[in-house]
Amino acid sequence: MAKQILTAICYFASQAFKIFSKAELVRATNNFCNDNKIGVGSTGSVYRGVLDDGQQVAIKWINVTRVGFEESSDEIKTLRLVKHKNLVQMLGFHARRSERALVYEYMNNSSQYYHLHTTRSSTLMSWNERLKVALDVAMAIQYLHEYAGPRIVHRDLKSSNALPNEKWTAKVADFGLSRLLPEDEA
């Protein structure tokens, strides 16, 4: 049954995303080197990587033993349905047996949390920059709640999932806990 689910997910997701081999991800992250680790969450670790074509990416390596087989595929199914300027774009994935990885565009300015709560941040955010990030996040959530089809509830909105770029345009990340709303609840 698990193999059939994986096959179906890979087929439908491959219509929108690139399927990466483990070898490509190993090369991109220098064998998942700790120097490239940019985050750790409840479902796994996120690494900065550079693909063979030079594109910088963020690779979320999912610990399937902690998450479960079907739950590890929910993020792929959800992100296949959405596209918005304030949502981190998923570029592809890796799914083989008990291995799962999601490949995203790389946001090069850390997280809102980092800029608000750490003294290591070289850039103190102005109030205008903070407001811009908040408005970008609000536009992303409005899209998910009102315009995405089907509508989506993020369920893990926090400053560490708001990722600004160098111009302080923010994108919402981490859809691992998100849920699709049934039509009758929308």
- Active-site residues: which are they? 156
SS (H, E, C) 80-115: CCCCCCCECCEEEEEEECCEEEEEEECCCCCCHHHH
Q: How far apart are CA 178 and CA 66, in angstroms?
A: 17
Q: How far apart are CA 24 and CA 53, in angstroms?
A: 11
3-state secondary structure of 124: coil
Q: Are strands 90-96 and 18-19 parallel, antiparallel or unpaired?
A: parallel
Q: How far apart are CA 44 and CA 40, in angstroms?
A: 6
Q: Are 91 and 104 in contact (CB under 8 A)?
A: yes
3-state secondary structure of 125: coil
